[in-house]
A and B are shown apart, each in its own frame.
Chain A
Amino acid sequence: MTRWTTTAAVKAISAVAFLGFASQAMAADVTWDRLLNAQNDDANWMMYHKDFTGHHHSGLKQINTRNVKNLKLAWQHNPAATKRGIQGFPLAVDGMVYYTTTSGTIWALNGATGQPVWHHAAKIDVERAEGTFYNPYNRGLAIGHGNVYMGTTDGRLIALNAKSGEVVWDNEIMTVAKGNKGFTGAPVIVKDMVILGANGGELAGCCGPIYAVDAKSGSVTWQFDTIGGDQRSRDSWGNDSWKIGGGGGWMTGSYDPATNTVWWGTANPAPDYDYIGGDWMNNGPRPGLNLYSSSVVVLDADSGELSAYFQEMPHDAWDFDSAVGEFLMVEKDGKRNMVHPNKGGIIFVYDADSVGGGNELAVNNAYMIGETFNYIKGVTKEGRLVGRRELPEGKHMDVCPAIDGAISWNTGAYNPKRNTHFMLTQEFCFDIEVVNPERPDDFSGQAYFGASWTSKAPKQKVDGTPVDAAYGTLQARDPLTGKMKWRVEYKYPVLASLLSTGGDLVFVPGADGMFDARDAKSGKLLWQSNMGTGAHGGVITYMVDGKQYVAVVTGWGSHVAGNYPGLFGAPFDTMSTDTGTLMVYSL
């Protein structure tokens, strides 16, 4: 396979620029070149993270700080009932919009009018899918090579013709023999492969595979086992505990063309929590570091071999996995940084070029953005945890954040012109009783936790300021130094992803259903609209026939959202958990 070179890139960029005008009318195929250069194509949103910079930023500026007050609903689409809302990112390509509902139905609509073009309801093996507690989840799709690709909760990857919706192939990628697991994350296309990772952090079984599937034929090109795949990993799980160790890579990662590497975050180890407490290197259910759980793995895109890694949570004792799929490429002073948020509320800044050889990534910086944490005292600039609060068997009060983390799987966004990273935090805690868990009898993906808990409001911030209710924040920071530029508090932590635009706006779909547009420079609220129900999915922008649209999915109901009635009461105590709508706004 040829390596991607700078010259090829330049050629590709000019080719795309040349095709730019024609593409909408022609509905040109989404080729690898187009995907590779997606950051220069703001009319379209062609992959989960928009492009391989991972910025969730579009240069479109027809809707901007001056006129956003005139933003109105252009059209909306109601799919059939969608349990747990809609959680994916819509995609917008050449005048079409594609999105998935949680049960695995894909809708293809006219991007300007919302008129349905085709839809496909994947036939799910309900018996298998509903054997896991990630049902019914689906977080989106990939588009390219003439097809639309979606993973399913029963372990399949489906390719549909992008124009007609006809099934091109429908393959079981993951068999039950490897654990009753499946796919909830959106796949991402890299070259002629479709990459996707399995769920299963807290499910007994192994080995949390990440797959590269041939985009044309649907056969597996390579497989990387996040646990137990190499000797170093096996050695870091005493008593062969990797065999029931969970793992996985359930959110969508990214690709770095310069090094031809796939960057992926991995899930926590099983069992969740560890009753042995501080002696975890030698004893307990999974003695050792538990590589490569709660880690970032960097894989050679052609072979799937481990190129580099960094374990963000060594022997994760809190379920603060690294599966957050956001990998932000930020170049500064000739240095390429890969910025990655971790569920524990830490932002890791990796040296993007410290890859090759399977060694630890070099960390340029690391800092905390959570405000009420006490599970550690902090993190060093080198990315090492300081002052771990282990949770041995027994009761522990006011552990912060709760299992839901300070950062969830929803993405932030980055405005490259302002060098500002917009990030969300969730500030709530729990009382937890850690137990020596019942070890499952077999390894086929049984739930495997070691605790019971109740979530609650934090009592204080890290700096000692008293707190009397759970809350959330939207923070604007320099992603490399962590320096805060502005901060807005949200009464209800936002569980949807963010969008940054060239119009100097940040879009925030709220948990209570209020959709905000804020000034990227100051955080000032410039526009707000009630979407009718809470949101915890994606938000994108695109252009059709010279008109800019903002598309956002709504719908409520998930593990994290489940805490809200208890934490806040209204409006969450009556919020529906089986509806959702695609809402599209324009001027």
Chain B
Amino acid sequence: MLFNVSITRLTHIAFMTLCAIGLNISVTHAEEDVTDIAAGQINPKYTQYKENFSVKRLFASRCSWCHQGYGLKEADGPRLSGTDKSKEYIIEQIAYGKSPMPGFRKQLKPWQIEALADYIKALPDVEL
């Protein structure tokens, strides 16, 4: 799947290139936009469960302790962007955890877990 470059990935590359050719935008802003782009694709799918649902807000509230930069940076937990794991695997990981990661099946609703998995899969393979 090495060359399976997603739309998000292309958008990101285009954005980074713009930065590189001299637009006065810092890299940090560019990379945070990557998570916004991913979230922007996912959020509308879940507004049926919650008005104004924001997957980044949910991620910050439950996952940020260990997964820095909305999943773009390795810390106590690994970087999540660019994962080679399937959506099913990721759902399983969030629900049941893997010590030291806690399981969230009692804390999050199935649709919230799925939204987080969709968001992680939508993240391009970039690292902060």
A interface residues (Cβ-Cβ under 8 A, vs B): 83-84, 130-133, 135-136, 202, 271, 395, 397, 431, 433, 435-438, 440, 446-455, 557-559, 561-563, 565-566
Complex CA distance for A565 and B74, rounded to whole angstroms: 8
Q: Which residues of B contact A454 (CB under 8 A)?
A: 68-69, 72-73, 128
Point out the residue from B28, B60, B99 that lies within 8 Å of A452, measured CB to CB.
B60
Beyond A131-B102, A452-B70, whether A562 also contacts B77 by CB under 8 A is yes
Chain B contacts for A565, CB-based, 8 A:
74
Within the complex, the shortest CB–CB distance from B18 to chain A, in Å, comes to 20
> Is B97 on the interface with A (CB-CB < 8 A)?
yes
Instruction: List 5 other contacts, CB 8 Å, given A84-B100, A449-B62.
Output: A135-B100, A435-B56, A438-B62, A451-B64, A562-B77
Flag if B69 contacts A453 (CB, 8 Å): yes
Closest 10 A/B residue pairs (Cβ)? A562-B76, A437-B61, A438-B61, A454-B69, A452-B64, A452-B60, A562-B75, A446-B107, A454-B68, A435-B60
Given A559-B76, A565-B74, the answer on whether A435 and B57 have CB atoms closer than 8 Å is yes
Q: Do residues A559 and B60 form an inter-chain contact, with CB atoms below 8 A?
A: no
In the complex, what residues of B have CB within 8 A of residue A561's CB?
76
Q: Across the interface, which residues of B come within 8 angstroms of A202, CB to CB?
A: 65
B103 at the A interface (CB under 8 A): yes
Which label, helix, strand, loop or mixed, suits the secondary structure of the B interface?
loop
> What are 15 contact pairs spanning A and B, CB under 8 A?
A130-B97, A130-B99, A131-B97, A132-B102, A133-B65, A433-B32, A435-B57, A447-B63, A449-B60, A449-B62, A454-B72, A454-B128, A559-B66, A562-B66, A563-B76
Residues on B lying within 8 angstroms of A by beta carbon are: 28, 32, 54, 56-66, 68-70, 72-77, 97, 99-103, 106-107, 128
Among B56, B68, B72, B77, the one with the most A-chain Cβ atoms within 10 Å of its Cβ is B68
B73 and A566: CB pair below 8 A? yes
Chain A residues, Cβ within 8 Å of B99: 83, 130, 135-136
With A452-B70, A566-B73 given, is the CB distance from A130 to B61 under 8 Å?
no
Q: Which residues of the partner chain A approach B97 to less than 8 Å between Cβ atoms? A: 130-131
A563 to B, closest residue via Cβ: B75
Chain A residues with CB under 8 A of B61: 271, 435, 437-438, 447-450
In angstroms, how far is the closest chain B Cβ from the Cβ of A37? 39
Decide: B60 and A450 in contact? CB cutoff 8 A.
yes
Minimum distance in angstroms from B51 CB to a CB of chain A: 13
Option from A133, A395, A435 in Cβ contact (under 8 Å) with B100 = A133
Chain B contacts for A433, CB-based, 8 A: 32, 60
Establish whether residues B65 and A449, one from each chain, have CB atoms under 8 Å apart when the complex forms: yes
Contact A431 to B62, CB < 8 A, known contacts A453-B69, A558-B76, A565-B74: no
Contacts of B103 in A (CB 8 A): 130-131
Measured between C-beta atoms, what is the minimum distance from B90 to chain A in Å?
A: 18
B contact residues around A437 at 8 Å (CB): 57, 60-61
Q: How distant is A180 from chain B, measured CB to nearest CB, in Å?
A: 8
**Which residues of chain A are within 8 angstroms of B75 by Cβ–Cβ distance?**
455, 562-563, 566
CB distance from B65 to the nearest CB of A (A): 6
Residues of B within 8 A of A559 (CB): 65-66, 76
Question: Are A452 and B59 closer than 8 Å at their CB atoms?
Answer: yes
Shortest beta-carbon distance from B59 to chain A in Å: 7
CA distance A452 to B70 in the complex (A): 6
| Cβ contact within 8 Å between A446 and B74 | no
Report the minimal beta-carbon distance from A506 to chain B, rounded to whole angstroms.
29
The reply to whether B28 and A438 contact each other, CB–CB distance below 8 Å, is no
A157 to B96, CA, bound (A): 26
| Contact A135 B60, beta carbon cutoff 8 Å | no
CB A540 to nearest CB in B, in angstroms, measures 26
CB contacts (< 8 Å) of A558 on chain B: these are: 76
Shortest B87–chain A CB gap in Å is 21
CB distance from B96 to the nearest CB of A (A): 9
CB distance from A272 to the nearest CB of B (A): 8
Q: How far is the CB of B74 from chain A (nearest CB, A)?
A: 6
Question: Among the listed B58, B73, B106, which residue makes an inter-chain contact with A438, where contact means beta carbons less than 8 Å apart?
Answer: B58
Q: A485 CA to B69 CA in the complex, in Å?
A: 39
A455 to B67, CA, bound (A): 11
Question: Which B residue sits closest to A445, measured CB to CB?
Answer: B107
Q: How far is the CB of B33 from chain A (nearest CB, A)?
A: 12
In angstroms, Cα B65 to Cα A94, docked, is 42
A438 to B108, CA, bound (A): 11
A449 vs B65: C-alpha distance when bound (angstroms): 8
* B58:A452 contact, CB within 8 angstroms: no
CA distance A258 to B77 in the complex (A): 45
Complex Cα distance, B76 from A565, in Å, reads 10
Residue of A nearest to B50 (CB): A438
What's the Cα separation between A418 and B76 when bound, in Å?
A: 39
The answer to whether B69 touches A438 (Cβ under 8 A) is no
